[in-house]
Amino acid sequence: MLVADRIIALGIMALSAYFMWHAAELPIGWNAMTGGPGGGAFPFWLSAIMMLAALSILIRTFRYEPPEKGSDEPFFDSVMLPSVVKVTAALIITVALIPYAGAYIALPLFVFWYVKIYGKHGWAITLSLTIGIPVFLFFFFEATLKILLPKGFTEPYFFPLYAMFF
């Protein structure tokens, strides 16, 4: 298991370095003309955080001996595997829906499924997350960073909001 952890950590670090290199082609600092961060700031710093997380995993694999060392138990047991398959399938469906239905339909559908149906949580937390996440994403990406997310067939419904923020 340690070898797999190390390989994955090194792979994520390499991918992070690649993303940072490409993000640095755009300005990553504060852009005085637009009054906001440069186009490469978000991907650069997100990739830097991802690299630090992978580095911490790599360091941990050299410092600690896992308790399951030498164990012949499978990584996914018969209880965990169906859960992983369900969530993976839901994520694939969500990503496939984004170009057609848009991020503001696909993501709330996934959150609703994950929290209410899969997680069996109450209506208060389900509705607050299902409504709150797309609202937060809209104001963070579109109103603040001026990064448009895919809207699919719902694009015309956003024209009044564009008039207010752009």
Shared domain check, 96 and 41? no
Query: Phi then psi for 77, rounded to 5 degrees?
Result: -90, 180
pLDDT digits (tens, 9 = 90+) for 47-94: 999 999 999 999 998 887 666 555 666 666 788 889 999 999 999 999
Shared domain check, 156 and 91? yes
Range in 1-5, 48-52, 94-98 with the lowest mean pLDDT: 1-5
Instruction: Select from 42, 58, 73 the last residue of a domain.
Output: 73
Shared domain check, 131 and 86? yes
Shared domain check, 153 and 83? yes
With 80 as the cut, is the pLDDT of residue 126 above it?
A: yes
The count of structural domains within the chain is 2
Shared domain check, 141 and 59? no
Shared domain check, 128 and 83? yes
Shared domain check, 103 and 64? no
pLDDT reported for residue 154: 92
With 80 as the cut, is the pLDDT of residue 36 above it?
A: no
Angstrom distance (rounded) from CA 102 to CA 94: 10
- The domain of 100 spans 79-166
Shared domain check, 104 and 37? no
Instruction: Select from 73, 89, 117 the last residue of a domain.
Output: 73
With 60 as the cut, is the pLDDT of residue 133 above it?
A: yes
Average pLDDT over residues 84-112: 96
Shared domain check, 33 and 91? no
**Most confidently predicted of 30-39, 40-49, 157-166:** 40-49
Closest CA to 117 of 141, 90, 96: 90
Sign of CA dihedral 18, 144, 49, 105: negative
Shared domain check, 166 and 126? yes
